[in-house]
Amino acid sequence: MKKHVFSRADRPLSFRVSDYDIPQGSEEEWRFTPVERISDFFADSACGKAPAVQVRGDAVYERASRTDPRLGKIIGPEDRTGALAWESFTEAHVITVPKNAHPEKEIMVGVRGEGESAVAGMHILIAAEEFSEATVIINHEGSARLTEGIEILAEEGSHLTVVTVQDWDDSAAHMLSNRIRVGRNASFRHIVVTLGGNTVRVTTSVDFADSGADVNLLGAYFVDAGQHLEHRLFVDHSIAKCRSNVTYKGALQGQDAHSVWVGDVLIGAKAEGSSSYELNRNLVLTPGARADSVPNLEIKTGEIEGAGHASATGRFDDEQLFYLKSRGIPEREAKRLVVRGFFAELISQIGVPSVQQHLMQAIEEELQRTMEGENA
């Protein structure tokens, strides 16, 4: 599929692997990715055994065949690994929150890899029907080489929160394609927490089905030595009077720790009254780590409420650390305070206590590793 794309909105979408060329690493959408680590994800098919999936909570859970008419109706995959996920799954996991339902507890989806060395495909559909309200948490653990597609539908008047946690073992590789459609007057919150895995690439595309929709995309990541954690987002404002907000924050430590964040927002010619803002912040804790951050905003109408973007990458602030130490705070605790403060505003927006606690615990563990390394 050779096509020069001037706008992310014009990117080719296909459910067929054969429609995509094998990435070489020079393409715009792959230039930050270590393609040599994931060459097996560019094969024509995936034959590995998919991780085990366990669903708990007050929702309708089904295992659906590939021919189920509910599947593949939102947005097509935007790259070869996304198409591979679609063509490779044998049955989809479908989670439905019925109309007007309001489950009190989170719906938990556990995905556990058992060390399968071959690439496997998996597909999940989450559908919040009209005027329902729910939180779905998908937790990825263990080790796998997984290409996964997640379709999310928030229908009219629904209030849906979906959290994906990538807490893989160090050997895992995960290509995740989130494809989302938000209906009239619906409120959707998407939270991505990426902590583990050797190579993780998460793409998230949002499409508005009708006016009045409100989308909040939050992300947090902590990158260790040798890890590559990549997040790519596209919010397509093609409908009038919709709102989107994007906030991603990450910290990096260790030699060859690498994060990538690419955020694209398009406000189309018919999207009058739209409002959008995207923010990415990166904190580099040690030498040898690298953060790439690319925000893009394309506006095709002057009739908007507001739009903007910001990106910054900075190293650990020695002056801030000195200030805290001069106030009698030990250096270890001072470093913890600086990193906690960096993530604090984002964590407070998550609004899911179990996820907030897990993220804070992970940050503490990562900081402990840094301090042990400094004292070695």
9 pLDDT tier (thresholds 50, 70, 90): low
pLDDT in tens, 72-85: 999 999 999 999 99
**What was the pLDDT predicted at 6?**
53
Rounded to 5°, the CA angle 202-79-194 comes to 5
- CB atoms < 10 A from the CB of 99, how many? 14
**What was the pLDDT predicted at 21?**
95
**What was the pLDDT predicted at 366?**
82
CB-based burial, 131-159: b 16+ in 10 Å, e otherwise: bbbbbbbbbbbbbbbbbbbbbbbbbbbbb
303 pLDDT tier (thresholds 50, 70, 90): confident
**What was the pLDDT predicted at 20?**
96
* 129 DSSP β-pair partners: none
Measured between alpha carbons, how far is 240 from 210 in angstroms, rounded to an integer? Answer: 8
Identity at 287, one-letter amino acid code: P
Measured between alpha carbons, how far is 36 from 26 in angstroms, rounded to an integer? Answer: 12
Measured between alpha carbons, how far is 165 from 149 in angstroms, rounded to an integer? Answer: 14
Q: 339-345: list long-range contacts, CB under 8 Å, 24+ apart.
A: 339/251, 339/283, 339/285, 339/363, 339/367, 342/249, 342/251, 342/281, 342/283, 343/220, 343/249, 343/251
Whether residue 372 is predicted with pLDDT greater than 70 in this model: the reply is no
Residue 32's nearest CA partner among 246, 201, 220, 249 is: 201
Q: CA torsion angle for 218, 220, 226, 232 (degrees, to 10)?
A: 10
Measured between alpha carbons, how far is 87 from 312 in angstroms, rounded to an integer? Answer: 38
Beta-carbon-side half-sphere exposure of residue 187 (alpha carbons within 13 Å): 6
Whether residue 44 is predicted with pLDDT greater than 90 in this model: the reply is yes
DSSP H helical ranges for the chain? 80-88, 318-326, 331-350, 353-375
**What was the pLDDT predicted at 256?**
97
**What was the pLDDT predicted at 334?**
80
Residue 315's nearest CA partner among 284, 287, 293, 349 is: 284
pLDDT in tens, 82-123: 999 999 999 999 999 999 999 999 999 999 999 999 999 999
Percentage of the chain exceeding pLDDT 90: 81
3-state class (DSSP) for residue 376: coil
pLDDT in tens, 291-301: 999 999 999 98
Residues 37, 39, 45, 48, CA torsion sign: negative
- CB atoms < 10 A from the CB of 102, how many? 11
Residue 3's nearest CA partner among 19, 18, 16 is: 19
Would you say 278 and 299 are in contact if contact means Cβ atoms under 8 Å apart? no
pLDDT in tens, 234-277: 999 999 999 999 999 999 999 999 999 999 999 999 999 999 99
Measured between alpha carbons, how far is 131 from 308 in angstroms, rounded to an integer? Answer: 30
Q: Report strand pairing: 187-194 vs 214-223.
A: parallel
Measured between alpha carbons, how far is 242 from 184 in angstroms, rounded to an integer? Answer: 9
Whether residue 39 is predicted with pLDDT greater than 90 in this model: the reply is yes
**What was the pLDDT predicted at 276?**
96
